[in-house]
Amino acid sequence: MTYDAVIIGAGLGGLECAYILAKHGMNVCVLEQGTQMGGCLQSFKRRGIHFDAGFHYVGGLDEGRPLNRLFDYFGLLDLPWQKMDEQCFDEVVIGHEHYRFAQGHEAWQAALAEQFPDQKNNLKKYDEAQANVGAHLFDALGSRTADDFYNNKAFTTPAYQVLAGTIGDERLRNVISGTSLKMELRPESLPFYVFAQINNSFIEGAYRLAGGGETLTNRMCENLRKMGVTLVTKAQVTQLEGEAGKISAALCSNGERYEGRIFISNAHPATTLSLVSEAVGLRKPYKKRIDRMENTYGMFTANIAIKPETLPYQNKNLYLYEEGADIWNISSPECPKGLLVSYGCTTPDQKYASSIDLLCPMQMEELSEWKDTQIGHRGSDYEAFKAAKTEQCLRIAEKQIPGLREATDRIYTSTPLTYRDYTGTRDGSAYGLRKDANNTLLTFLPPKTPVENLLLTGQNLNLHGILGVSMTSFVTCSALIGMEAATDGLKTK
C-alpha cells in the first residue's frame, strides 16, 4: 500500500503532523525507531514510579492562550493538567536571594517590582515586548502563508540586546533570565524571538501534567488510532529510497518497506539527510550545510525517587545559581553553575513528593571518552562520572530542600549520550539546532527541503519545547496543504 504521508519519528512533532494530515483526510503512517512513542516526551517506570525524560511543565495553557488553543485542536485539553502555583510557579535563587515568578502579566511584573522597585517601568516595557512576541505566534498561524512567520524583527535581534536595552539593573536581568535553563542562553546570538516566546508562554499559564509526558503521548496515539493512522514502533528508518529528486519508500530496521507520496521527518535534519539514498540526487552543498550546523547543549538529569511521605510536594520549579554566576554563560563543564529542580506530578492535588528531577546543562565534550559506547555498556568510569555529577547537583539542591538526601530512595541518571541514543538527536542536544539572530536565514530551517516530497518538522526548525514544536507542526503541514487547510479547526482568533 502507498500512504499519502509517511512520518519518520514519533516525537511530539511527528505525532502532531500525523494528526493534522489525517484530519485533512490523508492516509498516514508514523515510523518510530524506539519501543515507545513520544521521543523526548517518553517516560520510564522504575519500581512503580514514573520519571520523565524531557517533559516537566508547559506554558501558555490558560484559556485563550496559544497552547490552550493548540491543545484544544489536538484533543489534549481534558488531560489532568495541574496549574502551578499562581504566585510562584518558578523561583529563581541566586546566592541567598529568592525571586518569584507569578502567573499573569501584571502579577509577574508586580512580583519582580517588589524587589526591584526602581525598575517598575522598565519591567512593564520589557513585559510588553515579550508579550508582543508571544502574540505573533497566532498572527502567523492565522495568516494565509507561512512566509509571514519570520517577518518579525524579534528573530534578528539578540535577546540579550533587548534585555540590556530595557532593564537597567544587571541583577534583574539575571533574574529574568534565571528560568532559562529551558533554552541555551548565548548573549551574542540567542534570538529575542526564542527567549521571549518561551518565557512569555509560562507567564500565560504554567502547568504540569499528572503522569507526565506519557499521559500526553498516550492520548495523542489514542486519537491517531481513532483517525486510522498507522503507528509502528521498533521501526528505525535506515534508508529513504527513491530517484530523480523524489523519495518513494522508507526502508526500516524491521525489514519492512513503507511507500508514500510525501515523507515528513521528525528526526534531526542531519540524520534525516543521511538516510536519503544516492539515487535521489540530494544536493551535496545543502547536505553539507545542514551537517555543519551547530546544536544546543545537552542536559544531565538525575531522576530521584523520594521515600513515601517524607518531603512535601512543591507546585513550583526552582532554578538555583551560586552568587555571581554568569547566567548567560552557564554551560561550562565544571560543577553545575545552574540547576533546575522539578517535582514529578503523579496525581491531582498531590501532597508529598514522589520524585524530584535535577537538571543541568552538559556539553558533549564532557563525555568524549564514552562517545562510541552504547546504552548499558559504557563502563564503570562512566557510572563514576555520573555519580560525581549527581553528588554536585545534590549538594546544590539540598541547600534549598532540607532533608532531600535523607528522603532519597534511589537515583537514575541520564546524559546527552542517553538522548543521542534514544532519540537520535545530534550531539545529544536537548533543544535541537542552535538559532542565531545574526544569521536567521541559515539557522532557522524551513520545512521544505530540496527533495520535492521530503519535509522536516520538530524542534530543530524554529522553536523547541512543547509550544514551539506544536506551532511548527502547523508550519510544516502548511507547506504541504496550505496554511488555511492546515489550521482548519484551530481557533486562531
- Binding residues for ligand FAD (CB under 6 A): 8-14, 31-34, 39-41, 54-58, 182, 236-237, 266-267, 271, 299, 301, 359, 419, 423-425, 430, 458-459, 464-466, 469
- Closest distance between ligand FAD and the C-beta of residue 357, in Å? 8
425 Ramachandran zone, left/alpha/beta (phi>0; psi -120 to 50): beta
CB 316 within 8 A of CB 206: no
Exposed e or buried b per residue across 442-462, where buried means at least 16 C-beta atoms within 10 angstroms of its C-beta: ebbbbbebebebbbbbbbbbb
Total residue length of the chain: 493
Comparison of 28 and 31: residue with beta carbon closer to ligand FAD: 31
Taken in order 194, 199, 204, 209, the sign of the CA dihedral is positive
Return the number of the residue (113 or 251) whose C-beta is nearest ligand FAD. Answer: 251
Residue 21 or 172: the one with the smaller Cβ distance to ligand FAD is 21
Please identify which residue in the block is written with the cell numbers 506551532: 471
CB of 326 to ligand FAD, least distance (A): 22
Between 33 and 200, name the residue whose CB sits nearer to ligand FAD.
Answer: 33
CB of 156 to ligand FAD, least distance (A): 23
Query: DSSP label at 448?
Result: B
Which among 91, 89, 93 has a CA at the least distance from the CA of 321?
93
In three-state secondary structure terms, 166 is: helix
Q: How far, CA to CA in Å, does 358 sit from each of 35, 107, 402, 438? A: 25, 27, 15, 33
Give, in order, the Cα–Cα distances in Å from 384 to each of 166, 189, 284, 336, 414. Answer: 45, 35, 42, 17, 13
Nearer to ligand FAD, 70 or 88 (CB): 70
- We find the least distance from the C-beta atom of residue 117 to ligand FAD, in angstroms, to be 32
Question: Which residues lie below 8 Å from residue 87, measured CB to CB, with a gap of 6+?
Answer: 100, 102, 107, 111
Cβ density class 408-439: b for 16+ within 10 Å, e for less: beebbbbbbbbbbbbbbbbbbbbbbbbbbbee
Closest residue to ligand FAD using C-beta atoms: 11
**Closest approach of ligand FAD to the CB of residue 293, in Å:** 15
| Contact predicate 235/253, CB 8 Å | yes
- Nearer Cβ to ligand FAD (40/112): 40
Of 295 and 487, which has the nearer Cβ to ligand FAD? 295
Q: How far is the CB of 414 from ligand FAD (least distance, A)?
A: 8
For the chain, the first-to-last Cα distance in angstroms comes to 39
Provide the minimum distance between the beta carbon of 85 and ligand FAD in the complex, in angstroms, as a whole number.
16
Q: Which is nearer to ligand FAD, 39 or 66 (CB)?
A: 39
**CA distance linking residue 158 with residue 130, whole number of Å:** 13
The smaller minimum CB distance to ligand FAD, of residues 26 and 237, is found at: 237
Q: Show the cell assigned to 468.
A: 514551539
User: Edge-to-edge strand order for the sheet containing 58-59?
Assistant: 58-59, 206-209, 81-83
Least gap, CB of 166 to ligand FAD (angstroms): 25
> What does the alpha-carbon distance between residue 92 and residue 64 come to, in Å, rounded to a whole number?
27
Whole-number minimum distance, CB 432 to ligand FAD, in Å? 7
Beta strands in 124-256 (DSSP E): 206-209, 230-232, 237-243, 246-252
Taking the complex as a whole, the smallest distance from the CB of residue 406 to ligand FAD amounts, in Å, to 26
Q: Pairing state of beta strands 355-362 and 298-306?
A: antiparallel
| Beta carbon nearer to ligand FAD, 140 or 216 | 216
Which lies closer to ligand FAD via its Cβ, residue 108 or residue 419? 419
Query: How far is the CA of 468 from the CAs of 289, 432, 433, in angstroms?
Result: 23, 12, 13
Complex with ligand FAD: residue 116 or 343, whichever CB lies closer: 343
Q: Which of 493, 451, 456 is nearest to 476 (CA)?
A: 456
Distance of closest approach, residue 416 Cβ to ligand FAD, in angstroms: 9
Smallest separation, CB 37 to ligand FAD (Å): 7
Q: How far is the CB of 239 from ligand FAD (least distance, A)?
A: 9
